[in-house]
Amino acid sequence: MGDAWRLAVGTLTALPVAPPRQVTRDTARGAMLLAPLAVLPLGALVAAVLWLGGLADLPPLAVAFVAVGALAAGTRALHWDGLSDVADGLTASYDRERSLAVMKTGTSGPAGVVATVVVAGVQAAALTAYVGSAHLAVLAGALVCLSRCALWITCCTRVPAARPDGLGSTYTRTVPLPLAALGGMLLSVTGGLAVVALVRRTTRRFGGVTGDVFGAAIELALATTLLTWAWL
């Protein structure tokens, strides 16, 4: 459990923690299941920004963008990089190897830039509904944590890795299907469906998922769940 916790916190946040002694598939499974708890400090950070920004009577959209930026800083913007790479890979070519090569370069192309702008914009626009109210700010922080349940879906035992090496080979096919289904429900169903759609699309195009898909799934899940609860 200790190694899984350190792996989850060290991978999903910018918080300084000791590295795990070893990373096995059991450790990886534990880290993925602990992901929502590992980002509790980030959820609290978002809640604080939204609440304090409202108390200061700042423009809600400005407060929301600061919250999105603070959350990105708290994750080293790792998930945004994944979203950008996936968008570029999906639009680069219909050839699997070419798409994977584009994703591996780490540079952002036009599709990647547009994807990050659109998803960040949706997150910020949705977050305006949570500004100024203590209980709504706490709800937004909780949704940040629950968005990490997207990893339960991307790492489901039914989902293959796109590459035999790299992040996917350790983390994929580690989370049992019932827990992946639970993750979908915790994502307010709409978020779960969005992640499932992403996984199906990337599996067909790339032959499986990669670490970039993990990041893209988190940001997509967060945007969808924030928008769903803002509407509700």
Q: Do residues 43 and 16 touch, judged by C-beta distance below 8 A?
A: no
Q: Is residue 27 part of a domain?
A: no
For tokens 């809640």, what's the residue? Answer: 47
pLDDT, tens digit, 9 for 90 and up, residues 1-34: 788 999 999 999 999 998 888 888 899 999 999 9
Instruction: pLDDT band for 166, please (50, 70, 90 cuts).
Output: low
Q: Is residue 29 part of a domain?
A: no
pTM of the complete model beyond 0.85:
yes
Pull the structure tokens for residue 172.
Answer: 């994929």
Q: Is residue 26 part of a domain?
A: no
Q: Is residue 9 part of a domain?
A: yes
Q: Is residue 28 part of a domain?
A: no
How is the chain classified by DSSP, letter by letter? -HHHHHHHHHHHS----PPPS---HHHHHHHHHHHHHHTHHHHHHHHHHHHHHHHTT--HHHHHHHHHHHHHHHTTTHHHHHHHHHHHHHHH-SSHHHHHHHHHH----HHHHHHHHHHHHHHHHHHGGGTT-HHHHHHHHHHHHHGGGHHHHHTBTT--BSSSSSHHHHHTT-B-HHHHHHHHHHTTTHHHHHHHHHHHHHHHHHSSB-HHHHHHHHHHHHHHHHHHHHH-
For tokens 């919250």, what's the residue? Answer: 67
Q: Which domain holds residue 192?
A: 2-19+34-231
The number of domains in the chain is 1
The single-letter code of the amino acid at 87 is: A
CA distance 40 to 9: 10
Q: Is residue 130 part of a domain?
A: yes
- Distance of CA 54 to CAs 20, 31, 103, 130, 132, Å? 39, 34, 39, 9, 4
For tokens 């100024």, what's the residue? Answer: 132
In the prediction, which pLDDT does 22 show?
85
Q: Is residue 181 part of a domain?
A: yes
Cβ-based neighbours of 13, under 8 Å, separated by 6 or more: 38, 39, 41, 42, 74, 75
**Residue 27's CB: how many other CB atoms inside 10 A?**
23
pLDDT, tens digit, 9 for 90 and up, residues 129-153: 999 899 999 999 999 999 999 999 9
> Could you give the angle at which helices 25-38 and 2-12 cross, rounded to 10 degrees?
60
Average pLDDT over residues 176-197: 94
In the prediction, which pLDDT does 168 show?
66
